Structure 1
Amino acid sequence: MTVTVATLGFPRIGPRRELKFALESFWAGRSGEAELIEAASALRAAAWARQNALGVDHIPSGDFSFYDHVLDTSAMLGAVPDRYGWNAESVDLATYFAMARGTQGDGAAGSSRAAGHTAQEMTKWFDTNYHYMVPELAAGQTLRLASTKAVDAYREAKALGFETRPVLLGPVTWLSLAKGQGADPFDFLDDALVIYCQVLDRLREAGAAWVQIDEPVLVLDLDARQRAAVTRAYARFARRGPKVMLATYFGGLGDNLALATSLPVAGLHVDLVRAPEQLARIVKSASKDLCLSLGVIDGRNVWRADLESLLDRLEPVSKVRDLILAPSCSLLHTPIDLGLERDLEPEIAQWLACAVQKVEELAILKAALNNGRHIVAEALDASSKAAATRRSSVRIHDAAVAARLAAATPDMASRRSPFPARAARQKDRLALPDFPTTTIGSFPQTEAVRSARARFNRGEISDDAYLDFLRDETRQAIRWQEEVGLDVLVHGEFERNDMVQYFGERLSGFACTKNAWVQSYGSRCVRPPILYGDVSRPKAMTVDWWRFAQDQTDRPMKGMLTGPVTILNWSFVRDDQPREETCRQIALAIRDEVVDLEAAGAKVIQIDEAALREGLPLRRRDWAHYLDWAVECFRLAASGVADETQIHTHMCYSEFNDILPSIGAMDADVISIETARSRMELIQAFADYEYPNEIGPGVYDIHAPRIPHPEEMTALLKLACAHLPAERLWVNPDCGLKTRKWEDVRPALVNMVAAAHALRQAGS
């Protein structure tokens, strides 16, 4: 029996975020399409060469994307909404980026292009912090092959001497993620399958022996139509094209196992990190002719594997059938190379593995299974020692944290009075107008801000000089907010590098990196902190900045915090204890900060929980447990204040319709949500649920560069007023403004304030 190694996908951004900088240069007009294409080609070639050198037998192609692989699939199928005016044979970059980012328009009065066009909706990819562009399908729409990216990438790799396994997002997953406008997305199944078959035929003609088709939807609860679509699709694929490796990930197959193993495919990839218990059932169910790909290395987290333990589980299987060993999912979700980190403490660094190290671990497993453990004895010994050191390290456990958690009582997770009583007191204290205006928290991190931070980190400017710079940026932002008439102000967060990393750097139990970047969407990259041990707050983290900002104005200044569930879900989290226990530790630390902000005089405190929906388990049977502890953690963080203190929260880019009772149970005084791209679609769900508290539906999409007109935002607010009481509505963007430029932000917020004033006048 033979064991080989595969990767399902490799990080796209490049070791130094080369893709980010190439994209942003192109979007800014500093470089042309040829330069962008050249940069992308270099990144693909480097990724193939690196995986080949690391010993990968099945190297993926087609996993690279300029923005998002779901959007790439929409382009392949010609699923381009009419508003973009596309009528060409293939989807060009201008159309592709218009779908991703929207268009500003020419501004000409009376022109159909005056206001530009909104981007497609964006939401979270399963339970990750990666964002995908939601496909749109409208009644009467015609699909056609409009991108041959998968074929082109295979040929490109072959020309460089690399035999690859092309990757396609599966049709059932794509249709399950799509939104229909006057049509059910699955009405387009047969049209989509025709195009998939055309692509498979071209791949076969190009020489591809295998194709990887990703169907992560198979780890979800499927309805009858989805199950039928799976059967229909793979029966079609079996009659043409290369051999199919059907890839599932992010969880176990569960009740879909029999369906998956009955399909006429040549191979099946399963996630044994999220669902290790499924190995025995799959081995028993799968025919000997089915090539099994086992996801044994975590593609979602950064912890080094215990290779000896894995070998104990894999050896019996490897003796009776050929195996492919792989990460649990694409390595898109991990940083590229631990070797780029120079400043991590050695004890912590030895516990970690990034994409390169994970492939090295697979190569060690392969060698041990094919030739015996003695071949890689030194590597196995190092793995075992690292695992033992992590279990016994004094860095991991803090008796004081455990004692405080044990002493927490249920009443700590409840506000003193119900919302109506709190709302009356807050209204008297804040004295805000109807449709109060605010922003979500951050303002643009300009080149000057990033440069000053970099110079400070390199020791080129003093503490005092950097502090003076940040104070000046904060003063200017506050003055500008006053001038344009915002009602509740923010300090702009110029001192913060990231909404989670900033707190990770100030809480115990976290380690932060310099170069461990992962893609969030498009050119947006983040460095999740590494949560390795018990969490506490050594000292106040934001109070001094809030106090400085409030001293600059008479208007209410929000205290700005990231919530415990978001800190948890946007970190690489320890895997040696239940996630809910770790989250409660974070909640108590954030509670300390909330109480200190209130004591300093803060009347409004925002605790962002952008990632609460993201952490929802993929199977409905597991939802209640997660939502119970996630809501409890938010309330534990937020409930230590008086009734007069207004607690805000913010959520974005997720589907909330099915968890509205839990959002209501959070009992935040004000929630701000993303609704601009969907034209207030979510508001109907909040109205149907009879959401009792105040709400700020985002009136413009900050992830696109276009500037909406006041009339556009007024129309959205009128839609909101048709569903919710006007006295409970706030006016705000749909997310923070950190990634935008001031030339985008200033006119957009001026227009937003004008929209609020128009509604006030209409109601007076």
Structure 2
Amino acid sequence: MSDNKDQFRPEDHEHDHFLLTSVVGSYPKPKWLNRAKELYEDDEADFDEDNWQEAKDDAARVITNEHERAGLDTVVDGEMRRTEMVEFFAHRIDGYEFNGPVKVWGHNYFDKPSVVSEVEYDESWLVDEYKFTASATNRPVKVPITGPYTLASWAFNEAYEDDAELAYALADLVNEEIEKLVDAGARYIQIDEPALATTPDDHAIVGEALERIVADIPEDVRIGLHVCYGDYSRIYPEILEFPVDEFDLELANGDYEQLDVFKDPEFTADLALGVTDVHVAEVESVEQIEENIKKGLEIVPPEQLVVSPDCGLKLLPREVAYGKMENMVQAARNVEADLDAGNIDIERETPTPADD
């Protein structure tokens, strides 16, 4: 791991301290984009592939700009071109096929795929998306990509001996994709592994998959790992051995009940702390988010702290998602100013070194 966070510091950043602000990935889609998709899928509508591409491009520009207006240091297009996080990639990987929608929670469904033959890399999954977003902004672009463990766990495995073998095969494909993204200019890649904390006995599989993913990736490329929900005590401190620069963790939703898990042994990576709850359709006040950010300083010093929402924002009303991001950025800047002024007393218990 290297200290590669400062490359994302804006040139005109006004504080000595820098708390990198970002989003996890997904964002509410404009309602007209959903309508455009309906038209595209309607054989009787006069709405062809070019129209559909233009609609997605427009939505990506709008949301990238929305992230800029909120003040985020690194932006994403809100995953405007993507469907569900496994389904999108499975459609692009040879070896997957689809069986129909499966209910996952509430009234939400996703098309759960099966792996029916050896997975193979065909054409790039995200390079065009990245290039378009980078062309629409002057800010650094973060690229979220669903990790191989989740791609394996959330599919029916009909081709490999076990999910570990499938995950390793998928990790090699993710490595290929990241190499192409890096060649295209990407410097901030986030691996999404929501399945990890729900099946913690498999953290060794995720670790091996990550080793394959980052093989030959330059040190100036920031690699994050996003994990949401689950019992973190069952994967910590083992995850500190993963070859990533930052861990992006959902903690606001549980009112930081699991914060103490990460205090001992010492948290040696960067912490991207979830400071707004994406499950609540209300905008937290700037003051509340400031208090949440300070909770991160109980685990890591300011130079290791990154600020983000708990998870993807796509299920929120769009104005709520924007309000959360705007207040989050303002809160981060306020905490930076307080740190500069020495107004925040950072007292952390002396933890056991992580390698003990």
Fold shared by both chains (TM-score > 0.5): yes
Take 1:673 and 1:627, find their aligned partners in 2: how far apart are those partners?
A: 15
**Contact map agreement 1:607 1:638 (CA 8 A) in 2:** no
SS of residue in 2 equivalent to 1:508: strand
Take 1:729 and 1:680, find their aligned partners in 2: how far apart are those partners?
A: 16
Give CA deviations for 1:197-217 in whole Å, capped at 9, x if unaligned.
xxxxxxxxxxxxxxxxxxxxx
Take 2:289 and 2:157, find their aligned partners in 1: how far apart are those partners?
A: 39
Counterpart of 2:8 (choices 418, 430, 438) is: 430
What RMSD, in angstroms, separates the aligned Cα atoms of the two structures?
A: 1.7
Tell me the amino acid that sits aligned with residue 324 of structure 2: A
**Contact map agreement 1:437 1:753 (CA 8 A) in 2:** yes
SS of residue in 2 equivalent to 1:705: coil
**1:535-546 alignment, distance < 5 Å:** 535-546=119-130
Change (3 A) 1:576 1:722: closer
Counterpart of 2:78 (choices 482, 486, 492) is: 492
The offset of 1:628, in angstroms, is 2.1
Give the equivalent residue in structure 2 for 1:549. Answer: 133
Tell me the amino acid that sits aligned with residue 161 of structure 2: Q
Give the equivalent residue in structure 1 for 2:88. Answer: 502
Tell me the amino acid that sits aligned with residue 103 of structure 2: V
SS of residue in 1 equivalent to 2:271: strand
Take 1:744 and 1:608, find their aligned partners in 2: how far apart are those partners?
A: 23
Bigger-Rg structure (1/2): 1
> What runs of 5+ residues in structure 2 fail to find an aligned partner?
341-356
The offset of 1:449, in angstroms, is 2.3
Change (3 A) 1:429 1:758: closer
Aligned length: 332
Counterpart of 1:705 (choices 281, 287, 294) is: 281
Tell me the amino acid that sits aligned with residue 294 of structure 2: K
The offset of 1:706, in angstroms, is 2.1
**Contact map agreement 1:443 1:738 (CA 8 A) in 2:** yes
Change (3 A) 1:638 1:524: farther
Comparing both structures, which one devotes a greater share of its residues to strand?
Answer: 2
Take 1:745 and 1:428, find their aligned partners in 2: how far apart are those partners?
A: 26
Tell me the amino acid that sits aligned with residue 533 of structure 1: S
1:603 aligns with 2:187: yes
Tell me the amino acid that sits aligned with residue 54 of structure 2: D
**Contact map agreement 1:443 1:736 (CA 8 A) in 2:** yes
Change (3 A) 1:708 1:508: same
Take 2:111 and 2:166, find their aligned partners in 1: how far apart are those partners?
A: 20
Q: Identity percentage over the alignment?
A: 27
**Contact map agreement 1:631 1:662 (CA 8 A) in 2:** no
Take 1:665 and 1:639, find their aligned partners in 2: how far apart are those partners?
A: 15
Change (3 A) 1:551 1:727: same
Tell me the amino acid that sits aligned with residue 83 of structure 2: N
Comparing both structures, which one devotes a greater share of its residues to helix?
Answer: 1
**Contact map agreement 2:250 2:311 (CA 8 A) in 1:** yes
Give the equivalent residue in structure 1 for 2:61. Answer: 475
Take 1:707 and 1:537, find their aligned partners in 2: how far apart are those partners?
A: 41
1:643 aligns with 2:204: no
Take 2:313 and 2:258, find their aligned partners in 1: how far apart are those partners?
A: 21
SS of residue in 1 equivalent to 2:144: strand
1:693 aligns with 2:279: no
SS of residue in 2 equivalent to 1:533: strand
Take 2:238 and 2:39, find their aligned partners in 1: how far apart are those partners?
A: 44
**Contact map agreement 2:225 2:248 (CA 8 A) in 1:** yes
Take 2:306 and 2:335, find their aligned partners in 1: how far apart are those partners?
A: 11
1:655 aligns with 2:231: yes
**1:661-700 alignment, distance < 5 Å:** 661-700=237-276
Take 1:429 and 1:439, find their aligned partners in 2: how far apart are those partners?
A: 17
Give the equivalent residue in structure 2 for 1:734. Answer: 310
Give the equivalent residue in structure 1 for 2:170. Answer: 586
**Contact map agreement 2:21 2:332 (CA 8 A) in 1:** yes
The offset of 1:541, in angstroms, is 0.7
Tell me the amino acid that sits aligned with residue 477 of structure 1: I
SS of residue in 2 equivalent to 1:439: coil
Give the equivalent residue in structure 1 for 2:102. Answer: 517
The offset of 1:575, in angstroms, is 6.7
The offset of 1:615, in angstroms, is 3.0
Give the equivalent residue in structure 2 for 1:465. Answer: 51
Instruction: Flag as ranges the 4+ runs of structure 1 deviating above 4 A.
Output: none
* TM-score, length of structure 1 as denominator length: 0.42
The offset of 1:666, in angstroms, is 1.5
Tell me the amino acid that sits aligned with residue 7 of structure 2: R
The offset of 1:551, in angstroms, is 1.0
Take 2:289 and 2:131, find their aligned partners in 1: how far apart are those partners?
A: 33
Tell me the amino acid that sits aligned with residue 528 of structure 1: K
Give CA deviations for 1:413-457 in whole Å, capped at 9, x if unaligned.
xxxxxx2xx21xx24533356111100011113432222223223
SS of residue in 1 equivalent to 2:131: helix
The offset of 1:576, in angstroms, is 5.5
Tell me the amino acid that sits aligned with residue 716 of structure 1: N
The offset of 1:553, in angstroms, is 1.4
Change (3 A) 1:500 1:541: same
The offset of 1:697, in angstroms, is 1.4
* TM-score, length of structure 2 as denominator length: 0.88
Take 1:545 and 1:746, find their aligned partners in 2: how far apart are those partners?
A: 22
Give the equivalent residue in structure 2 for 1:615. Answer: 199
Tell me the amino acid that sits aligned with residue 715 of structure 1: E
Give the equivalent residue in structure 2 for 1:565. Answer: 149
**Contact map agreement 1:569 1:614 (CA 8 A) in 2:** no
Take 1:593 and 1:571, find their aligned partners in 2: how far apart are those partners?
A: 20
Give CA deviations for 1:123-166 in whole Å, capped at 9, x if unaligned.
xxxxxxxxxxxxxxxxxxxxxxxxxxxxxxxxxxxxxxxxxxxx
Tell me the amino acid that sits aligned with residue 540 of structure 1: S
Take 2:140 and 2:180, find their aligned partners in 1: how far apart are those partners?
A: 17
Change (3 A) 1:719 1:560: closer
SS of residue in 1 equivalent to 2:168: helix
Counterpart of 1:449 (choices 19, 30, 33) is: 33
**Contact map agreement 2:134 2:141 (CA 8 A) in 1:** yes
Tell me the amino acid that sits aligned with residue 138 of structure 2: D
**Contact map agreement 1:680 1:697 (CA 8 A) in 2:** no
**Contact map agreement 1:484 1:750 (CA 8 A) in 2:** yes
